[in-house]
Structure formats: C-alpha cells, structure tokens
Amino acid sequence: MKNTIAERILDFLKGYPPFNLIPKPTLLEIAKKVEIHYFEKDQIIFSQNDSPHEHFYIIYEGAFRLYRFAEGKKHVLDICDEGDLFGLRPLIMKENYLMGAAANEETILYGIPINLFNDIILNYPKVSQFLIASFATNTRDPFSEKHKGKLFANIQAIKKVENSFSETQAVKYTPNPITCNATTTIKEAAIIMTENVINSIVITENKKPIGIITDKDIRTKVGTGHFKITDIAEKIMSHPVFTFPEKLAVAEAQIALLKHKVSHLCITKDGTNNSELVGILAEQDLNLIQGNNPLLLIKEIKKAKDAETLKYIRFRAGDLTKGYIEQEIPIYFVTKVISEINTAITKRAIQLSIKEIGKEPPTDFTWFAVGSQGRKEQLLMTDQDNALVFENVDESEYKNVKCYFLELATKVTEKLNIVGFDYCPANIMASNPKWCLSLKEWKQQFKEWIKDPIPEKILLSIIFYDFELIYGNQELYDNMAKSVLKHIKKNQSFLGFLGKVTLDNPAPLGFFKQFLVELDGENKDSFDIKSRAIRPLTDAARIFSLYHGLQINNSIARFEKLMEVEPQNADLFESCANAFKILLQFRTLQGLTNNNTGRYVDINNLSKADRLKLKSCFKPIKNIQDSLKLRFKITQII
Amino acid sequence: MINFFKRKKHPKFWKDYIEKVESSKNYNNYEAIRFVALDTETTGFDYDKDRILCIGAIALKNNKIQVNDSFEVYVKQTTFNKETIKIHGIRKNGTEVKVSEEEALIQFLEYLDDAIIVAHHTKFDITMINQALKRLKIGPLQSKLLDTNYIHKKIAPENRFKKLFSLDELCNLYNITMHDRHTASGDALLTAILFLKLTAKFKKNNILNLTELIRTNYYLS
C-alpha cells in the first residue's frame, strides 16, 4: 500500500543525523511508526526525574528547551530546533530523565519508538558511533564543525539529585543560649547581646525560660520611647515563650513558627516551660537547612522566572505534604502551608503573565480563588477554580479592558496548568468571559443568585461564596464581599435554599449503621468521603457563617469563629471542626497512599480502627444538619 | 421483522462495521477514543455524477497522531473530469495501485472500525462515501462525525461568526505549514494537525470529551 504520509516523514528525517546514516527502506519502517505530537508554548513533555518514555523526539517545527534544576536554580542547557533530537540518552541508558524539556514556542514533534531504534543501533555501527560520540562530547552533532550545544549533558556534571527532604531531621538549635534575669536592666541586656553578637536573649528564672527579648522588642518598645533603657528586662520581654523538646523535627519547628508568629523557639529538657533551658532556635536557623522548607519554597517562587520552575517547586511542596502527613502534623497547619504555597504560585504566575503581555493592567483588578482553593483546604493537586474582578470602567473602554483581562487570565491558567493544576472541567476560571467581570457585573450577578435561587445558581453560589483574594486590589475584594453579605442579610430565606441542597446529602450512616456506599459506576461499593462526609460540613460552615455575615472562607476557621459567635452551640461547632480535621487528614492520606484524589474510600479494606474513626465523624454531621433544618426552617421549602 | 430480513441481506463487512460502532466502549474515555482524520479526492463536486478517486486517513489517539495507523486507497475510475485532475493530479492511468470502489470501501470500513471521523467540510466527504455505499445498497455511515470548521467556530472570537473557512485559511490561521496540499493523505494529515491544535485550545474553556466536541456540530444552527 502506498503511504504518502510515511514518505513525507522519511523525506524529513533523512535530512538529519543520525537518520541520514540509515538506508531508505529501514528508515521508511521507522517513519511508519512515528507519533506526531503538538505542544503549545511552555508545555512540558517530560520533567527531570520522570521515568523514560517509550519514544524519543525529533523536532519537526518549533523549538524545545532542555533545562535542569541544580541547587535550586534552573539552568537552561540547550534550545533544540528543527531536526534536533532529544530525550534519547535516558532511553538507551534505561534511567530517568536527567533534565526537563518544554516547548520554547509552538512545536510539532515526531516521537520515534525506542524499541525500533535499539535494533538500528545494533545493526548500523555508524549510528551507534554517532550516538556514542555525541553522548561523550556533549554535542549535538559531533561530526559537524561547530559544537554548539550540550544536548547530552556531561555525565560528570550531573549528579543524581539527592533526596533533599529534610523535614524529618531533627533541628539544629543553638545550645547553651545567653540568658539574663528578669531584673536585669534593658541596657545591660542590650550590652550582653551586642557583645555576643546575638539578636535575642532569653530571660530565665531558676534556669527555666520565662521570656525572651529580641532586637525587634528593643526597636519597637524602647526605641519608640515607650520604655526606658533603665527599665528592667521583664517589662519588655515577650512571654510566655514557646518551648519544645530537643528532638524537634524541622517541619514541626516551621509550623510552630508560623502558628505562633514568632521568630524564636526555646528548647527545654522535657519540652515544657517548666524545665531547664537547653537551647534556642531562631527562624534563620531553619532557613539554613537545605531542603524543602516552606519559607524557602515561597522565596524561590517569588524569584521564579517561568512556569516550569514553578512546577518544580510545587513538586517539592508535594513531598513536603507527604512528610507532614506522615509525621501527623495537624492538618489545619498543613493546609495553611500548602495554601500559602499555592497562593504564591498563582501570584507569581499572574506577575509573569503581565510581564509577558508587556502592558500594565488598564485598571485595578483582583484575582480570586473560589471553591476549595478559596477555602484554603487543598492538599493534593486539584483543578483550578478562579475568577477575576476589575474596576468599573466607562462603557467605551469596557471592551478593551475586558479583552486585556481575558488575555491575562488565559496566560495565567495556562501557566497553572503547566504547574499541575488541571483546567476546571466546569470552566470556572477567570479565562471564561462569564467569570471575568467588572465589579458592577459581579455585584449584579451575586444579587441575582440570591434573589432567584434556582438550583443551578445555588450550585454556583456554593462555589463562588467561598472566594478568597489571591492577588490584586484588596478594596475591590472587600467591596464585593461586603455586597454579598449585605444581600444575604436582606434575603435570609436564601440560606434556606442553600440548606436544602446540603440536606440532600444526608448523614452517611444507613439504616443498620452501615456505611452508605456508592451503588453504581466506577466506584461501586466505595465510600465517597468528599460528597458524603466532607461536603456536608463545608456546606454547613458556609451557611452559618453567611448567616452571621462572617468574611471567613476556611471551614475550620469558620467553625472556630462560630464557637465564639454562638457560645450556646460551641460544643456542636467544635465537634464539627474536629470531625472536619479528621476527615480531611483521612482523605489526604488515602490520596497519598493510592496516588489519587483520595475521594473514594474502599470500606472493605479499612482497618477496624479507621472505620470507627470515620464513623465517629458522622454524628456531628447529623447534629449540624438537624440544627440547619431547625434554624432555617428547611422543611418548609419544597 | 421486515428490518430483520433487510439486515440479513447486508454483506458481512457492513454488519461487522455496524457491530463495531454500536458495541464500542471507548467513547467515554477521551484518551481511549480513536479519531480518524480523513479526506477524499473526487472527480468533482456533484454528489450524483462524481466519484471518489482516493481516500486518505490517519488516526489520532490520546492527542497523538499515529502514523502507523494510517490509510490510503485509490479507486479505479470510468468517469473522469479533466478540470479536477489539475487539482489532485490523479490521472486515469496513473501509477498508483487502484482497486474497485467496493474493495476500497471494504478496506476503508475495516480500517475505520469504531473511530470518530474528523474532517474539514465533513459533510462533503461523508456524502461522497455514503453515495458510494448506496451503490452497494448499504450505508449510510454510522460513525460519529466531527468537523474542524465547527470546532474552530466554537473557540474563535465572535466577529468571525458566520463565515466558513477553507482548510488553507485555517492552516494559515493556526500556523500550520502546508505540504502535500490536495492529496487525500496530505490533507488528512493537515486536518489531524489542525484537530490537535484546535483541541488544545478547546480544552482551556471547555470540557474536552466526545459529547462536548460533537456539540460543536450544532454550533452554526
């Protein structure tokens, strides 16, 4: 049979080494087996350390860049263009990719199956000579005069990336810290600090730490004139101090610093503040530890120059999550850290996109996350859910302004997609003209949803009422949030409609106290932890906090605030918050173990303890649903 | 009952084809769907008088064009149109191996299997094939159809709303270098590349699955 397409591919291949060394009939067999790929600019075909594909690649049209991360920095090793080969060496050596490859521009590639090529290497010595020579000399075409590239990076120069995961290591603190007494004067304390070149001094009493003075205290409390240098240390010291035992894991220390918003932790003999001080740990001690610490990752994100660097950092953040969960670090802090990282990535993606467009935004705007990202409850990689609001503009300018923001949003969503956040299947993204609106339009939209709560609008409300500012103008965001809360206040019956929807998901215990499992489809007989257990809680948290006009999105934070607002129901809300934490941790662990979203739990494979743990979470779900029913008179709405 | 007897008379290759399309389990999983980009060269544009000269096709799966899954067949002719020879270059006594129209269709249906057809101005190619099938007292094709023109419509900005585009115009618009224009296989490959580019754009603002793609067929109506 005539094969016009294979012949054309052959015509192309025979123009480039090593294919020019292969006789035509053999080359035609190769051409017949080619796969043609298309890549948009910046799309990644493989990342460093990925396992090898079944094909290597030759560029038909366009260009690819090869890059490598070493010591946290990205190095672009080469730009390949038409006729250049890449991704061959790992296939021959049967090892993971030593570098990543991404489209430098729109590119069409031919993928050539390695199994076919292995025979050719054996049968055509000229081909293997060419390959050996190019691997050894780092050049793309060792037979050509100019050695322009480093396609096959020098093996000596590339050491396998070591596992730099250091979170589980114990921290290295400063032992025997300098101390003073509560009655030491500030002047004396400052002299001691200056002499010892330290930025903090611990105040002890019988060797037990009772407070700490840092450079900052002297600046803000003494420098400002609130206290005199002749006052005693006790007056300006921060107390109590946060104490930990000697074997403090790096991750725990990081979270403690984030949680308490302090710069120093005290290490004591038994870990309480009632025992002898043995050391001090400062924030900067942690930064020195090489590895994936969140502060360092965020710093790297801020400096990242492209999407593949962001992808690499996010990949390391994934390791971080795993380590945290394994160490049973409280889920609330883990979500916080990961959300901060995701937020930083989005921010950076927006900045890079603005730079790419080459024009500053025509007016103020705010990028906000909605759904679970808006609630800051993401641990695993999920879909993008985002939207954009821009300042009201004159009608004459509207079209251009919207055009700009749509272009911006498209670039940002493309970048986030490269990082690993899939496009939202429901198209809830700022790149959708429906979700890229002026302030006036958003307010109008929210108003309509509240006034006319038909089912599909309720679903949108549920997603959009968890919106969190990610980047841009705070005022725009506040303005929008306030307007939503105002309308809901005026239309309290709307909350009843929201409640109705969530009660369609009853508490997940069946008649015989069995788990309610899925009855059909791919996930038959498994328990849908997301929609049956987690969602009823997030829904309830949302409804109650909208009721009280709280501008909070995180479910745990919502429940905690509700405990304050309704002290008579504090027990109920606390039990919900606890159940939520357990469920989220459970889901994340499931997801990490099975390498999926963790949404469907195989009940039959659960240990007795896990079943009980899950079941204990269902009671609060039932209670809060009963409470919703009563409060919002939901039975009256049909 | 009438239907039953009618069906019985159908040749085996046609029944096999219908069976494959109807029992396919691949349509729900985008990565498993086999798309076949195709183009036909014909003696002219009259559905009744003109005939298929050549069918060229190439398959795509999971966003990759599979060169090892391509198809090309030339049909023996009695009718000839001097005008169109200038376009496609297939002469009455050219050197390509030619088979009868029936044999060409048998091979094509065997190749087509349960694939989704992608073409440019799909209606023209499909009508030509259906007319040929009719001459064998079978048809029309039951495969699901997509048209690159309509997918483009769905993702293109509003101001190009009404116009239909030629393959050349879309190739220019999407930056596709044209080789082998006006050979069936060459055009099928261009259509396949165009389809890859279109779906890459499509998925940014739409769910990329078969239902949503087929929905674009109604975009103009």
| Rounded Cα gap, residues A387 and A365, in angstroms | 11
Output the pLDDT for position B122. 93
Is there a contact between B116 and B36 (Cβ–Cβ < 8 Å)? yes
Task: Identify the residue whose tokens are 């109590």.
Answer: A240
| Rounded Cα gap, residues A461 and A201, in angstroms | 52
On whether residue B2 sits in a domain, the answer given is no
Residue A378: name the closest of A370, A366, A389, A387 by CA: A370
Residue A228 neighbours by CB distance under 10 Å: 11
Is there a contact between A415 and A375 (Cβ–Cβ < 8 Å)? no
Using a CB-CB distance cutoff of 8 angstroms, which residues of chain A are in contact with residue B204? Answer: 410, 413-414, 423, 431
B34-42 vs A468-472, strand pairing mode: unpaired
| Rounded Cα gap, residues B211 and B208, in angstroms | 8
What DSSP character marks residue A151? S
| pLDDT confidence band for B55 (50 / 70 / 90) | very high
CB–CB contact A427 B205 (8 Å) = yes
Q: Which of A63-77, A160-174, B105-119 has the lowest mean pLDDT?
A: A160-174
Output the pLDDT for position A498. 84
| pLDDT confidence band for A331 (50 / 70 / 90) | confident
Cα-to-chain-centroid distance, residue A355: 22
Output the pLDDT for position A2. 77
The set of residues, in sequence order, having a beta carbon less than 8 Å from that of A481 and lying 6+ positions away, is A467, A551
On whether residue B183 sits in a domain, the answer given is yes
Using a CB-CB distance cutoff of 8 angstroms, which residues of chain A are in contact with residue B62? Answer: none
With a pLDDT cut of 90, the percent of chain A lying above it is 31
Q: ∠ at Cα A494 (A490, A497), nearest 5°?
A: 170
Output the pLDDT for position A107. 93
CB of A413 less than 8 A from some CB of B: yes
Output the pLDDT for position B69. 95
| pLDDT confidence band for A522 (50 / 70 / 90) | low
Interface of B with A (CB under 8 A): 56, 58, 63-68, 70, 72-74, 96-97, 175, 177, 179-180, 183, 185-186, 188-189, 192-193, 196-197, 200, 203-207
Same domain, A471 and A514: no
pLDDT at A510 over 60: no
User: What is the SS3 assignment for A582?
Assistant: helix
Q: Total domain count for chain A?
A: 4
Residue A575 structural domain: 495-636
Residue A100: name the closest of A165, A164, A153, A149 by CA: A153
Q: Which of A218-227, A240-249, B136-145, B207-216 has the lowest mean pLDDT?
A: A240-249
On whether residue B115 sits in a domain, the answer given is yes
Tokens of A537: 């809680």
User: What is the SS3 assignment for A179?
Assistant: strand
Same domain, A273 and A349: no
Q: How many CB pairs under 8 A join A and B?
A: 77
Same domain, A262 and A221: yes
Q: Give per-residue pLDDT as tens, A334-349.
A: 888 888 888 899 999 9
Question: Within chain B, how many helices (H) and strands (E) appear?
Answer: 9, 6
On whether residue B43 sits in a domain, the answer given is yes
Mean pLDDT on A202-209: 90
| pLDDT confidence band for B74 (50 / 70 / 90) | very high
Same domain, A457 and A551: no
| Rounded Cα gap, residues A69 and B151, in angstroms | 39
CB–CB contact B72 A4 (8 Å) = yes
Output the pLDDT for position B65. 96
User: What is the SS3 assignment for A348?
Assistant: helix
CB–CB contact B185 A4 (8 Å) = yes
Q: Kindly identify which residue of chain B lies nearest to residue A430, measuring between CA atoms.
A: B205
Output the pLDDT for position B77. 79
**Measured CA distances, A140 to A11, A19, A103, A146 (Å):** 21, 13, 18, 9
On whether residue B142 sits in a domain, the answer given is yes
**Measured CA distances, A225 to A219, A221, A230 (Å):** 9, 7, 12
- Smallest Cβ–Cβ distance between A35 and the set B64, B97, B180 belongs to B64
The set of residues, in sequence order, having a beta carbon less than 8 Å from that of A487 and lying 6+ positions away, is A446, A447, A450, A451
**Measured CA distances, B47 to A215, A332, A439, A531, B210 (Å):** 88, 68, 55, 54, 29
| Rounded Cα gap, residues A74 and A312, in angstroms | 9
Mean pLDDT on A541-568: 91
Shortest CA gap A417–chain B (Å)? 9
On whether residue A159 sits in a domain, the answer given is no
Cα-to-chain-centroid distance, residue A427: 20
Residue type at B155? Answer: I
Shortest CA gap B71–chain A (Å)? 7
Using a CB-CB distance cutoff of 8 angstroms, which residues of chain B are in contact with residue A109? Answer: none
Output the pLDDT for position A390. 95
Q: Give pairs for B78-82: CB < 8 Å, separation 24+.
A: B79/B43, B79/B49, B79/B50, B79/B51, B80/B43, B81/B43, B81/B44, B81/B50
On whether residue A490 sits in a domain, the answer given is no
pLDDT at A353 over 90: yes
Q: Give per-residue pLDDT as tens, A583-596.
A: 888 888 787 777 67
**Which secondary-structure segment (H or E) carries A44?**
strand A44-46
| Rounded Cα gap, residues A498 and A538, in angstroms | 12
CB of A270 less than 8 A from some CB of B: no
Using a CB-CB distance cutoff of 8 angstroms, which residues of chain A are in contact with residue B188? Answer: 5
On whether residue A444 sits in a domain, the answer given is yes
Using a CB-CB distance cutoff of 8 angstroms, which residues of chain B are in contact with residue A29? Answer: none
Output the pLDDT for position A523. 63
pLDDT at A297 over 50: yes
Tokens of B160: 């190009």
Shortest CA gap B31–chain A (Å)? 14
CB of A521 less than 8 A from some CB of B: no
| Rounded Cα gap, residues A572 and A576, in angstroms | 6
On whether residue A146 sits in a domain, the answer given is no
Output the pLDDT for position A242. 87
What DSSP character marks residue A220? I
| Rounded Cα gap, residues A321 and A558, in angstroms | 23
Same domain, A415 and A345: yes
Tokens of A595: 């390498």
Cα-to-chain-centroid distance, residue A351: 17
The set of residues, in sequence order, having a beta carbon less than 8 Å from that of B154 and lying 6+ positions away, is B202, B206, B216, B219
Higher per-residue pLDDT: A167 or A546: A546
**Which secondary-structure segment (H or E) carries B55?**
strand B52-61
CB of A32 less than 8 A from some CB of B: yes
CB of A434 less than 8 A from some CB of B: no
Q: Give per-residue pLDDT as tens, A125-162.
A: 778 777 766 665 444 444 443 333 333 333 333 323 33
| pLDDT confidence band for B4 (50 / 70 / 90) | low
| pLDDT confidence band for A447 (50 / 70 / 90) | confident
- Smallest Cβ–Cβ distance between A423 and the set B74, B188, B204 belongs to B204
Bond into A18 cis (ω within 30): yes
Cβ-count burial A34-60 (b if 16+ within 10 Å, e if not): bbbbbbbbbbbbbbbbeebbebbbbbb
Looking at the DSSP bridge assignments, the partners of residue B56 are B39, B72
Is there a contact between A470 and A369 (Cβ–Cβ < 8 Å)? yes
Higher per-residue pLDDT: A456 or A430: A430
CB of A108 less than 8 A from some CB of B: yes
CB–CB contact B70 A3 (8 Å) = yes
Is there a contact between A4 and B185 (Cβ–Cβ < 8 Å)? yes
On whether residue A436 sits in a domain, the answer given is yes
User: What is the SS3 assignment for A239?
Assistant: coil
On whether residue A208 sits in a domain, the answer given is yes
Residue B95 structural domain: 8-218
Burial class (CB in 10 A: 0-12, 13-18, 19+), B146: buried
Is there a contact between A48 and A97 (Cβ–Cβ < 8 Å)? yes
On whether residue B21 sits in a domain, the answer given is yes
Sign for the CA dihedral angle at A360, A366, A372, A373 comes to: positive
Residue A391 neighbours by CB distance under 10 Å: 18
| pLDDT confidence band for A518 (50 / 70 / 90) | low
Tokens of A622: 């039932």
A35-39 vs A107-113, strand pairing mode: antiparallel
Same domain, A261 and A299: no
On whether residue A311 sits in a domain, the answer given is yes
Is there a contact between B123 and B47 (Cβ–Cβ < 8 Å)? no
On whether residue A268 sits in a domain, the answer given is yes
CATH code where residue B179 lies: 3.30.420.10
Residue A409: name the closest of A353, A328, A466 by CA: A353
Same domain, A122 and A10: yes
How many angstroms separate the most distant Cα atoms in chain B? Answer: 54
**DSSP alpha helix (H) spans, A179-219:** 186-196, 215-217
Output the pLDDT for position B159. 45
**Which secondary-structure segment (H or E) carries A64?**
strand A63-70
Task: Identify the residue whose tokens are 């739409």.
Answer: B206
CATH code where residue A189 lies: 3.10.580.10
Same domain, A594 and A567: yes
CB–CB contact A36 B193 (8 Å) = yes
Same domain, A320 and A395: yes
| pLDDT confidence band for B72 (50 / 70 / 90) | very high
**Which secondary-structure segment (H or E) carries B2?**
helix B2-9
**Measured CA distances, A184 to A209, A279, B24 (Å):** 14, 20, 84
Task: Identify the residue whose tokens are 């052959």.
Answer: A10
Shortest CA gap B64–chain A (Å)? 5
Same domain, A282 and A299: no
Output the pLDDT for position A454. 82
Mean pLDDT on A111-116: 90
pLDDT at A364 over 90: yes
CATH code where residue A573 lies: 1.20.120
User: What is the SS3 assignment for A468?
Assistant: strand
Is there a contact between B119 and B149 (Cβ–Cβ < 8 Å)? no
Supply the Cα-derived Rg of chain A in whole angstroms: 30
Residue A91: name the closest of A130, A60, A135 by CA: A135
Among A457, A481, A505, the domain-final residue is: A481
- Smallest Cβ–Cβ distance between A38 and the set B67, B70, B197 belongs to B197
CB of A115 less than 8 A from some CB of B: no
Instruction: Detail the DSSP E strand segments found in A370-417.
Output: 386-390
The set of residues, in sequence order, having a beta carbon less than 8 Å from that of B87 and lying 6+ positions away, is B41, B182
On whether residue B1 sits in a domain, the answer given is no
pLDDT at A237 over 70: yes
Length reported for chain B: 221
Using a CB-CB distance cutoff of 8 angstroms, which residues of chain B are in contact with residue A426? Answer: 207
Using a CB-CB distance cutoff of 8 angstroms, which residues of chain B are in contact with residue A36? Answer: 64-65, 67, 192-193, 196
Mean pLDDT on A469-482: 91
Q: Which of A192-196, A408-412, B154-158 has the lowest mean pLDDT?
A: B154-158
CB of A426 less than 8 A from some CB of B: yes
Output the pLDDT for position B144. 93
CB–CB contact B67 A33 (8 Å) = yes
Q: Total domain count for chain B?
A: 1
User: What is the SS3 assignment for A366?
Assistant: strand
Using a CB-CB distance cutoff of 8 angstroms, which residues of chain A are in contact with residue B183? Answer: 4
Residue B73: name the closest of B92, B91, B97 by CA: B97
Give me the phi and psi of A422, to 5 degrees please.
-60, 155
Restricting to A residues 41-60, those with a Cβ less than 8 Å away from any Cβ of B are none
**Best residue of A36, A58, A386 to probe chain B, by most B CBs closer than 10 Å:** A36
On whether residue B200 sits in a domain, the answer given is yes
CB of A6 less than 8 A from some CB of B: yes
CB–CB contact B205 A429 (8 Å) = yes
Same domain, A435 and A453: yes
Output the pLDDT for position A517. 60
CB–CB contact A413 B204 (8 Å) = yes
Give me the phi and psi of A197, to 5 degrees please.
50, 55
B52-61 vs A85-86, strand pairing mode: unpaired
Shortest CA gap B187–chain A (Å)? 10
Same domain, A414 and A502: no
Shortest CA gap A99–chain B (Å)? 23
Bond into B140 cis (ω within 30): yes
Mean per-residue pLDDT over chain A, rounded: 82
**DSSP alpha helix (H) spans, A46-108:** 89-93
